[in-house]
């Protein structure tokens, strides 16, 4: 289907685009151009024969075109913090977050910048004046798809977990949570556990060292932060604890053994491992296994059980 360009970047905006394709990116020049002729809200619009329009924001175009730059060794040619640096410069120069919030989140996963996903999400949400402009269906669709692809196909559970964290942040923000209280799970390492609460749905197995339920939420309260484990995802969320499932009684034998094993213990390591499970139809599934190690050499393992439908927690 043929299309025609009905709005183009001006010469200053095109110059910004050319700068990001160079080996060394001149951020000061980009800032200067945004203050002198280029717009942080510049878009290119292509219109198709059927009336449909394809709009591309200058910032996200610069994200997309830089994310695919690799040298002959397959290494990225741009700085590790390129995407967040560029976002900050555009925000400082008047990027209309309320107008483009959904477009930004539709494209954020194409930066493949797991180190700065959380920071970029906070920058965007902190500048959003009216949360009614945040459309969850639009904003989360691409992030959710990319998360699923990395879990199932790429078997990159750590990267998928970062995508899931910003998914939770955006959804939580829309529902009244403070986005600034979310962090990567690694922030909790080195902290001592003060309390633990488990919420579950349809409890199936309840031993002193193992429990299985359809869904499980675990809230581990430490000295400074709260570690959240929601099924196969793990992150820090210091907002008020909420779960849609039923809280386990403190005298439950698994809860009691878990508290005995890890309360007042320091978290020394968290791993996201892959586990292959063969289904009855000879299909192999790659699932996430979360392993948390404590100073007393105790571990808790959170993964799917063999039925591929229930969550399992094991104390080792």
Residue 5 has pLDDT above 90, yes or no: no
> Contact at 8 Å (CB) between 16 and 38?
yes
For 3-180, CATH number?
Answer: 1.25.40
Whole-number pLDDT of residue 69: 61
Residue found by looking up tokens 């992150």 in the block? 235
Residue found by looking up tokens 């998928």 in the block? 160
Residue 242's contacts (CB-CB under 8 Å, 6 or more residues apart) are none
Whole-number pLDDT of residue 52: 79
> What is the signed CA dihedral for 97, 108, 232, 288, rounded to 10 degrees?
-170
Chain centroid offset of residue 150 CA: 12
Query: Domain locations in the chain?
Result: 3-180, 185-315
Mean pLDDT of 89-111: 97
Whole-number pLDDT of residue 31: 98
Phi-psi region of 155 (alpha: psi -120 to 50; beta: other; left: phi over 0): left
Whole-number pLDDT of residue 73: 47
Phi-psi region of 95 (alpha: psi -120 to 50; beta: other; left: phi over 0): beta
Residue found by looking up tokens 């459309």 in the block? 135
Residue 299 has pLDDT above 50, yes or no: yes
Mean pLDDT of 288-300: 96
Mean pLDDT of 211-234: 95
Alpha helices per DSSP H over the chain: 11-19, 27-35, 58-67, 82-92, 97-107, 117-126, 136-152, 157-174, 253-262
């Amino acid at each position: 289907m043929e299309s025609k360009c009905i709005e183009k970047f001006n010469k200053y905006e095109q110059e910004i685009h050319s700068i990001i394709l160079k080996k060394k990116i001149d951020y000061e020049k980009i800032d200067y151009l945004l203050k002198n002729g280029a717009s942080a809200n510049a878009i290119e619009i292509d219109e198709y024969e059927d009336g449909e329009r394809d709009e591309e924001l200058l910032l996200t175009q610069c994200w997309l075109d830089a994310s695919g730059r690799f040298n002959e060794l397959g290494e990225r040619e741009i700085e590790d913090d390129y995407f967040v640096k560029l976002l900050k410069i555009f925000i400082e120069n008047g990027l209309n977050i309320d107008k483009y919030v959904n477009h930004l989140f539709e494209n954020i996963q194409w930066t493949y910048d797991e180190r700065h996903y959380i920071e970029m999400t906070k920058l965007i949400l902190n500048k959003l004046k009216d949360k009614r402009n945040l459309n969850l269906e639009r904003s989360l669709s691409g992030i959710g798809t990319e998360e699923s692809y990395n879990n199932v196909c790429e078997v990159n559970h750590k990267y998928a977990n970062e995508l899931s964290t910003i998914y939770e942040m955006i959804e939580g923000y829309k529902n009244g949570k403070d986005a600034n209280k979310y962090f990567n799970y690694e922030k909790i390492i080195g902290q001592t556990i003060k309390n633990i609460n488990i919420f579950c749905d349809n409890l199936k197995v309840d031993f002193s060292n193992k429990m299985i339920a359809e869904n499980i939420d675990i809230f581990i309260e430490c000295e400074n932060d709260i570690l959240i484990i929601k099924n196969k995802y793990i992150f820090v969320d210091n907002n008020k604890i909420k779960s849609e499932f039923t809280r386990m009684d403190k005298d439950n034998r698994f809860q009691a053994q878990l508290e005995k094993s890890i309360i007042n213990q320091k978290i020394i390591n968290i791993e996201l491992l892959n586990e292959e499970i063969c289904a009855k139809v000879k299909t192999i599934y790659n699932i996430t296994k979360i392993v948390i190690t404590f100073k007393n050499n105790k571990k808790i393992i959170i993964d799917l059980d063999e039925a591929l439908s229930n969550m399992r927690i094991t104390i080792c």
